[in-house]
Structure 1
Amino acid sequence: MIMKKFRVFLLWSVIALIIQNGVFLYFEKVYLGGETTVKAEKVEKKKISNMKDINIPSDATDVKMSHDGAYIAFMEDGALKVGDRTKGDIKTVKLEESMEVNYTKWVTDGDFLIIAEKTKYSKSKPYIDIHKYDASRDEKVELTDLDLKKDIINLSSSKDNIEDMAFATSSNVMYFKIGKSSNRADIYKINVMSQLEKVKSNLVGIGAIDIDPVNANLLYEQTNMVKLNTGSKQTKIKNLSEGTIIGHSDNSVFIGKGKADQIEEIIYGDADKSVSEWQNIKLDSKVDKNDIFITAGGRVFIKNSNKSVTDAITKKTVKYEGTLLDINDKGILSNVDGNSKVIDLE
């Protein structure tokens, strides 16, 4: 009897080990797309304001800070640059031959930059190729599915571009809005298995897109309404007549009531529930959507005209210098006389 129990125990231990190794193999070889060495280290918490400054040219565009403030990505003369604030140097990210950057976005829980590259010039079959850049390793890999098929978006015209990108790292699901002619747009999805599919085609009047971080469903603006697409059906956000998508945190969707340049109230909560169950933030005055920053941790900051930002919930105000570029849970990034300046957030 004891030997029988021992054999059963041994069998299940082997099965568990196989499953565990299979998960690690998939994460290493498919999801990360390259060789990975795992090393355990003690991580010291470091204030991002104590890191080195990075030179940011006056003509730099699309300046974005990584979740921990260690890296800053920006475009300069068509080249994608990533500044490493732990070392103080800047690297140029190598692009694929005959390709150019079409869109970039940092993930919210790692030093990874999602890069969408588009074919240059007028090719017979224009397309967009999706990559993941590991800033800490200076490595870029193409996203592929489990069969190692590349995640490529074929375009109907060389004038088509990615106009918006949304993803939740908790689910590893991404959405891409492809802007087309005649105010139309296609929306593509990369699911948790890294499989690419078109979920919406030739939609008219589409504004911003986002993702419900809880259920990984698509959210998008259309004719002043925010709609939720669950795959099987498409519905308006319950009890919301007019709204503007502002962003999402790790567990809530944030929507501004009113038009994009006249937001007086922000509501947030679970997209599957009626907005009557959501929480709300009353703003002191009308605010433009572009002056509102939502962090992954759910903090809401409002840019003021006097070089300061206000936490919309605690009402605490933080001053900054130069030109405001980005805000996340770690800090406030600005450009001061051509150099990065980061203020730590408590």
Structure 2
Amino acid sequence: MKASKIFIKWIIISLVLQLCLYFYLDKYYLSSGDNVEITEGMSIYKKNEVKPNIIVPQNAKNIALSYDCSYTAYFDNGVIKVVDTSTGKDRKLTFGEGVQCISYKWVPDSNRMIIAEKIKAGENRNIRFFSYDAESQLKEEIKDYNTQRTDSIPAGISENEVSMVMSTLTNVMYAKVTYANGLSTIYRIDANETMTKLNTVVKRIGKIEVASRDDQLAYEDTINSRVRTNTSCRFININGNLRFSLLGTDTDNNIYVGNKTGKVNKIYYGKLAEPQRTWKVVNLDYLYDTQNLQVMGDGKIYFIDKVSSRVKNLRDGKYSTYDGSFIGIYDDKIASISNSKIVLKSIN
């Protein structure tokens, strides 16, 4: 009994001491005499707001903007010009003597581009690839990291076309080189910048696309109107339908195809590693020309109505208008050129 009284006594003393300590901390130690106001913190990551200030030459061709619209590029008298979209000032970009610029491609989610150049050395002509960073204004030739050898693609006297697609997560690029006879060859440049020539089923090749996460390739067989791949599935076959048009990809590794060539009223999408019978379908309210469809990284699908100068979101049916001639969609903005000036309008 005596022990229990002592135990209770010490509990009371402990509680009194704790209350005194809390009172001291609240009234004196933690108080500065001023009211403490809690405000909502602002993110240090602020989206770049671009206000275009560019006069584009009337003879400019192949106009394209970087992913966040910070920089604008175009062909001017056979060479590529890169300018700051907000200031209109030229970025430093030089080319060697006797070089013919064939094409360029902005790398997704960066202000860097890949340039394809046709270089003449004596009687030989070769296509080489260069990386250019618009921020640092540094241009470097793409070389094999292991051998430091410059890989090039043989090219004839006739004109060549080069189209490029990239998987930024795996640092893999595919380049389709088309020759004067209409035949094409596809080359793969991996993360070590090693170039490999691919064996394709056909040489009449249309659009090419690459999956974002596993760099699997899809390409149009224009002879048989099929979409072929470099995977074990070999070509797209959904419910016995083999005739498809290749539309694009998203950042979730999905490939998008139209249910026929020319104009489509259904769009299928899914991953090449999954059974194609499980691919999802988007039913369209109209026959849309595949040349005017654009698939975005977030899975949005837009129809570019150049006659009415508007863009339609085929997912929700909403329209957004633009001024002048359509350039592209970047960072949820429509880029166009009106009265020789770049215009950016947010999508509704």
TM-score, L = length of structure 1: 0.80
Deviations 1:137-191 (A, max 9, x none): 2111111222352443231523262432111111111111111354322111001
Alignment identity in percent? 24
Q: For residue 18 of structure 1, what is the aligned residue in structure 2? A: none
Distance 2:331 2:150 in 1: 30
| Contact 2:128-2:151 at 8 Å conserved across structures | yes
Letter of the 1:271 counterpart: L
Is residue 44 of structure 1 aligned with residue 43 of structure 2?
Answer: no
The structure with the larger Rg is 2
Distance 2:48 2:86 in 1: 10
Q: For residue 299 of structure 2, what is the aligned residue in structure 1? A: 298
Q: For residue 267 of structure 2, what is the aligned residue in structure 1? A: 266
Letter of the 1:129 counterpart: R
Q: For residue 178 of structure 2, what is the aligned residue in structure 1? A: 179
The equivalent position to 1:336 in structure 2, one of 324, 338, 348, is 338
Is residue 326 of structure 1 aligned with residue 328 of structure 2?
Answer: yes
**2:199 counterpart SS class:** strand
Q: For residue 28 of structure 2, what is the aligned residue in structure 1? A: none
Distance 2:180 2:74 in 1: 27
Q: For residue 36 of structure 2, what is the aligned residue in structure 1? A: none
Is residue 107 of structure 1 aligned with residue 79 of structure 2?
Answer: no
| Contact 1:297-1:329 at 8 Å conserved across structures | no
Structure 1 residues 93 and 190: alpha-carbon distance in aligned structure 2, compared to 1, 3 A threshold: same
Q: For residue 23 of structure 2, what is the aligned residue in structure 1? A: none
Structure 1 residues 44 and 307: alpha-carbon distance in aligned structure 2, compared to 1, 3 A threshold: same
In structure 1, runs of 5+ residues without a counterpart are 1-40
Distance 1:160 1:189 in 2: 21
**1:126 counterpart SS class:** strand
Bigger Cα displacement from structure 2, 197-206 vs 101-110: 197-206
Q: For residue 57 of structure 1, what is the aligned residue in structure 2? A: 57
For residues 1-346 of structure 1, the aligned pairs below 5 Å read: 42-48=44-50, 51-91=51-91, 93-120=93-120, 123-147=122-146, 149-159=148-158, 161-200=160-199, 203-222=202-221, 223-230=224-231, 233=232, 235-239=234-238, 240-251=241-252, 252-259=254-261, 261-304=262-305, 305-345=307-347
Shift of 1:274: 2.9
Structure 1 residues 335 and 229: alpha-carbon distance in aligned structure 2, compared to 1, 3 A threshold: same
Shift of 1:275: 3.0
Bigger Cα displacement from structure 2, 108-117 vs 243-252: 243-252
Letter of the 2:341 counterpart: N
The answer to which structure, 1 or 2, has the higher relative contact order (CA under 8 A, 6+ apart) is: 1
RMSD of aligned Cα (Å): 2.2
**1:91 counterpart SS class:** coil
| Contact 2:259-2:266 at 8 Å conserved across structures | yes
Runs of 4+ in 1 over 6 A off after TM superposition: none
TM-score, L = length of structure 2: 0.80
Distance 1:134 1:71 in 2: 11
In structure 2, runs of 5+ residues without a counterpart are 1-42
Distance 2:192 2:159 in 1: 26
Letter of the 1:277 counterpart: T
